[in-house]
Amino acid sequence: MKITPLFDRVLIAEEKEDLATASGFLLSGSSNESVVKAKVLAVGTGNEKEDGSSSKIFVATDDEILCSKFAIAKFKLDGNEFGIIRQSDILAIIK
């Protein structure tokens, strides 16, 4: 199944990071952080402006990004968890 975001939306997969202490206890890396790391899976075409042009999309498929976890609209499809956010909610691109 193919998901295509509309307008300035971006389809992402959140990267879960579990941290282990030296003694082997697992700590959830995202338990109290408000910024998450994610991978861009698909992007929309941009918002159409009044003059007929589209706004520029600054991210591309396979980019790693940082975004606010509160801006993500999460959903599950075929057992996998995805999220959709607006491009303006992306805080940074990780190079």
For residues 4 and 44, is the Cβ–Cβ distance under 8 A?
A: yes
Is the pLDDT at 29 greater than 60, yes or no?
no
For the chain, which residues make up each domain, given as ranges?
9-18+33-94
The 10s digit of each residue's pLDDT in 45-90 is 888 877 877 788 999 999 999 999 899 999 999 999 999 999 999 9
Q: Any idea which architecture 9-18+33-94 has in CATH? A: Roll (2.30)
Q: Say whether pTM exceeds 0.75.
A: yes
